Amino acid sequence: MDEREAKLLARQKELDELEKEIKAREKAIKKKEQEKKQILLRLAPGLWNEIAKMADDDIRSINGEIEYLLTEAVRARKKK
């Protein structure tokens, strides 16, 4: 085995470890998401469209964007 092959094998091992770490994080996130409370939320179509645009800009789901906005609003309110 030459030096190049050894480097490739070492890199493959690093990638395998990173993949295991990512899978573990995904599992933890999925578990945490299952613990979240669910609510029914009715929004005006105009507000829904604005949130959808923001979510698209931020590369989030609409649900994720709503959660982000609510989290920011709570933080801002706590600062007052």
- Are 25 and 33 in contact by the 8 Å Cβ rule? The answer is no
Mean pLDDT (the chain, rounded): 92
Residue 32: per-residue pLDDT = 81
pLDDT band at 47 (very low <50, low <70, confident <90, very high): very high
Instruction: Report which of 44, 50, 51 is spatially closest to residue 66, judged by C-alpha positions.
Output: 51
pLDDT at 31 over 90: no
Type and span of the H or E element at 29:
helix 3-34
Assess contact for 6 and 31: CB atoms under 8 A. no
pLDDT given at position 72 = 95
